[in-house]
Amino acid sequence: MTRASAARSTRMEREIGIPNVGLGTWKARTNEVRDAVEKAIECGYTHVDCAAAYGNEWEVGEAIAACAKDGRTTREKLFVTSKLWNDRRRPEDVREALLTTLKDLKLEYVDLYLIHWPVCWRRGTVLQNDSRASLRECWLELERCVEDGLVRHIGVSNFNEQQLAALMDDEGLKIKPACNQIETHPFWTNDALVKYSQSRGVKVTAYSPLAQGTQHPVLDRIAAKHGVTPAQVVLRWNIQRDVVVIPKSTSAKRIASNADLFGFALDVDDLEAMKTLNVGKSCATAPWSEFAPVASRNRWLRPLGRFLTWPLFVFVSMDVQKIGRPGFISLKAPWR
């Protein structure tokens, strides 16, 4: 990398400019996510969060293209995030995955590309470790993708303090993570990781910011006090922590409400009351997660899952970027 390109990379980290509120697309069903993205753009959203593993990037791309075509938005106004799935860690797989995502999204570049989880699986498998892959080599290829203009910023998702520090402190890396997307909401604040990420200059984005439900008397009282909804209270709580939120919804009314967070502010009493909600409730129950709410369970569930799925992946390969489309599952000859 030249001095000029190195300087550009440093500027990009400092000027990531990720909008505070975005539309999440995790668990958004096919044939609904397209309409949701269009509704969000019409409501003024400029930030869309997606991932290859969500199985709907091609619909997100259709919605963005339709809105750009009829003048509801422009590419320059949008901030699009995507994520690299767990079995794409070798350099050649990293670039191929990104190019597939760009094709599905109908874009020439994404604004932010994240390593989805801090694991390295063999291509086409789940939970099967790849000893020939590493997060560092994956990151080096992501840096090359930045240099080639395929992505503007790179970051991570679900990285803990030690995993984030390994990238931040590696003097051989030219670009430091711009973002750490993690689970954080009043029912599991994940405070230490939020504060550590921010202390290192890494922007934090909260996925599942509504914790898949906001029914609680404390939230009802605070919402009534400010004349807003409990969901708005929960989202505003993260905004006041300087955390980006990406709530998922397919309802036009809720999409609009989820972005209407700047006409009120939570006071000291509100924030104190909300501390009682922190009960360690996690929505990310994946067996490969090492976060506290599910760590003890996953210590035995992860190796069990690896053992049980190994015979399957001797004969079957899975392409996560084709979920819901031909080619998702294919047979392979183990003797080759």
Alpha-carbon distance of 244 to 18, in angstroms, equals 8
Tokens read off for 246: 């990406």
Catalytic residue among 45, 54, 113, 207: 54
Q: Are 257 and 219 within 8 A, CB to CB?
A: no
| Sign of the CA dihedral running 166, 169, 174, 177 | positive
Q: Are 194 and 245 within 8 A, CB to CB?
A: no
Compute the 3-state secondary structure of the chain and give helix, strand, coil in percent, each to the nearest 5. 45, 15, 40
Q: Are 117 and 86 within 8 A, CB to CB?
A: yes
Alpha-carbon distance of 150 to 145, in angstroms, equals 5
Tokens read off for 306: 């690896």
Does 207 participate in catalysis according to the annotation? no
Which residues are 195's β-sheet partners? none
Residues sharing a CB contact under 8 Å with residue 74, sequence separation 6 or more, in sequence order: 68
Alpha-carbon distance of 79 to 45, in angstroms, equals 9
Residue type, position 336, single letter = R
| Sign of the CA dihedral running 78, 145, 95, 69 | positive
Active site residues: 54
